Amino acid sequence: MRRTIGLLVLALPLGADQLPYQKPPQEILNILNAPALPVLSVNPTHTYATLSQSARYPGIDEVSAPMLRLAGIRIDPKTNGLHLAPFSTAITLVKLPQGTKIAVALPAHARASALHWSANGKMFAFTNTTPLGIELWIGDPSTGKTHQIAGLKLNAVLGDPIEWLPDNRTLLVKAVKEKRGLPPVEARVPKGPTVEESDGKAQGVATFEDMLKDPHDEDLFEYYATAQLVSVDAVAGTAQPIGKPGILDEVSPSPDGKDILITREHRPFSYLHPYREFPKDVDVWTPAGAMAYHVASIPLPANVPIGGVETGPRGIRWMPNQPATLFWVEAMDGGNPREKVPHRDRMVAIQAPFKGEAGEIFKTQERFSGIQFGKDFALISDQGRVTHLLRTFEIDPNKPNEEGKLIWSRNSQDRYKDPGRPVERRAGGRGAFAGGFGRGGGESLLLQSGSDILLQGEGSSEKGDHPFLDRFNLETKQTERIFECPPDKYETVEAVLDDQAKSFITRRESATEPPNYYLHVNGKETALTEYKDPAPVVRKITKQLVTYKRADGVELSMELYLPPDYKPGTRLPAVMWAYPREYDDASIAGQVTGSPNRFTTITGYSELFFLLDGYAVLDNAAMPVVGSIEVVNNTYVDQVVADAKAAIDKAAEMGVIDPNRVGVGGHSYGAFMTANLLAHSTLFRAGIAESGAYNRTLTPFGFQSERRTFWEAKDTYERMSPFFFADKIKDPILLIHGEADDNSGTFPIQSDRMYQAIRGNKGTVRLVFLPDEAHGYRAKETIEHVLWEKFRWFDKYVKNAPAQSTGAERN
């Protein structure tokens, strides 16, 4: 029996068979099948909140439906959208501030997208995916009534196909090209070989999944990605094509609605790069589809150094505080992070009617990392590659190259000193939110009152996270606390409804209270939802935030969970679940994350399900790898072993675990960690490794924070690769991998080869390939089976393992 995975054919091991999907115990299924709580968003005028209900898990029939894996995306050929695109099955509007609930009249068997609101909040649009295509629907929030725009099928292959114009009645949508004919058919007889060639100037490329592999793939991608831009009158229900069809990636109207920024990919395509890196033209069109300005022709980034950027324009966007001004960023160091230059990037801009050359606005000493706009200013940030120094400056885009005012400066990894994220109001979108500086701007304005802006943050400290909302004055740099999470709750600000934060919505939960939304107005609060506990048995689980130290003094933390009805003094079998992260500062590496006041919700194939099988769980156990970014991985193995030992020692010292019965697990880079811990220590009785990469020579141009190539750091790549130490893995390991993994570097062949290596060296190992699953597992049947596999493995090799003394690290 053979199984095809991407371009590789993997032979199932001798004696292997295709098991029917198995199920965990009913107690687990009851929790697994608990309904998901609706998600809240707010419209731009803050007159309505939206509560969207989604199905938690698709069935394996949906996950295994035909898809095309092309250019880094997965296309549903029946709908001309993305495979397994998220959707809502029910949407409820909440009128603000009254709290009146209005059900949105969705079509039967709805698979609705998020709502797209007109700027005045009086209409909304959404897509509905059917077996025959993607429809466009318009709604009236005052009644919840909706209607379909007939005769139109949307193309959602390259992202969101809907944009409102500022006139509050016109939509720009990407539609399936009319009369495009049938999909290209692959020739039965090849026309010739598939050829790739390099001119000796290219740089290394990451190992992306789902790339184009032959001319037929190119034809298929062009067929499904080509869209026709259409102007839709939402009131009259009419549609008018704009311009010629093309591979339309981004479509963005200017703030005044008089111009449209268009990004179109074109041939020649690449077999090594995803579609977003294909050659492209960026242009400004008139509303009628005529060319108004050619911004740039951007080539394939074949010569970008590792960790670098392209040399031409990047991040091309509209300034949201100007009627029609484009800005973008250009590298001043050739895109090479190792070049020593006074300035790495510069921001340039050009106003409509786009005459002459773009003018320089500001230069950054380090790499540009994002920008946000206020009414008459901008906050621009740069970040050092090696130092992680993140600085934010206030600038006036109308005063080119004027020195910026430094607002904040900190290590980007330092959670304790994070001042918070400036809160934005998204035009035509989902209300005010805390934007990230990496967003690039162009769609949102900061909420601003005079010189005051608002900041939302996690409030991280030695006591855990306590989210907050602050008022910050840009002139004085003084901060005023508006809201802070109570000490016995976990409460986050979900939406700010005015520029002075007199009204806002929070999401509140505690260890015993499920998440619910609350409207705060002038110090008074009103409950918007009253959701009940979907799984009361989980409330018997106890959780605490535990701090401890590594042998070398690095501060660490973990979330310690104990099962229902735990009796103090009982030493339990334990599961440690973790994910390594790199830091350049030991004091930052040890910062506490998380909160003991979160409402424990167990979903998917979470390790927390082990609590219902009598285990203690050491969750999110800190796994810092500390050192300079250039050489941090040189001591990776020693550090993760020390991290793991410290966690086990602390839990054993507390008297809650049996240190001789501990299993370890992780997903992706956590799976890589798991295999390394089994290869280089005797701390664990068994391991579970999900969707990992175990041979770093197969990701030779870098991984995670590693920016050296294999040829520059051979010893490190080999020393970090558990595949090279498969003969040392004698504790049982369960390898799980999605057959259709879509994550860079974690090709299924990694688990297949690791299995063969351990097996051939007389190790105890089991390999489970999950049909049609990606890097994360989605299907209900798959999730149930994965839980069954995990329980079975650790019950046999950890919980019921014979006693043994803790051994020393292997040499």
List all residues 6 or more positions away from 317 whose beta carbon is below 8 Å from its beta carbon: 252, 261, 326, 327, 328, 440, 441, 442, 443
Cβ count within 10 A of residue 303: 16
Does residue 698 come out as left (phi exceeding 0), alpha (psi in the -120 to 50 range) or beta?
alpha
List all residues 6 or more positions away from 179 whose beta carbon is below 8 Å from its beta carbon: none
The catalytic residue among 217, 249, 613, 741 is 741
Cβ–Cβ under 8 Å, residues 381 and 368: yes
- Cα separation, 243 vs 259, in Å, equals 13
Q: What is the side-by-side strand order in the sheet with 345-351?
A: 314-318, 325-331, 345-351, 359-364
- Cα separation, 670 vs 676, in Å, equals 10
End-to-end CA, the chain: 39
- Active site (annotated) includes residue 668: yes
Residue 502 has which token pair? 């007199």
List all residues 6 or more positions away from 236 whose beta carbon is below 8 Å from its beta carbon: none
- Cα separation, 595 vs 486, in Å, equals 12
- Alpha helix positions (H), 555-689: 586-589, 636-653, 669-680
Instruction: Tell me which residue of 613, 708, 700, 695 sits closest to 661, measured CA to CA.
Output: 613
- Active site (annotated) includes residue 466: no
Residue 600 has which token pair? 């424990």
For residue 459, report the phi and psi dihedrals to the nearest 5 degrees.
65, 45
- Alpha helix positions (H), 747-779: 748-760
The catalytic residue among 396, 412, 775, 795 is 775
- Give the type of residue at 626: V
| 3-state SS string for 90-121 | EEEEEECCCCCEEECCCCCCCCECCCEECCCC
- Cα separation, 452 vs 61, in Å, equals 52
- Cα separation, 135 vs 87, in Å, equals 13
For residue 11, report the phi and psi dihedrals to the nearest 5 degrees.
-85, 130
- Cα separation, 232 vs 249, in Å, equals 19
The catalytic residue among 668, 681, 691, 751 is 668
- Active site (annotated) includes residue 741: yes
Buried b (16+ CB within 10 A) or exposed e, 682-706: bbbbbbbbbbbbbbbebbbbbbbeb
What are the catalytic residues?
668, 741, 775
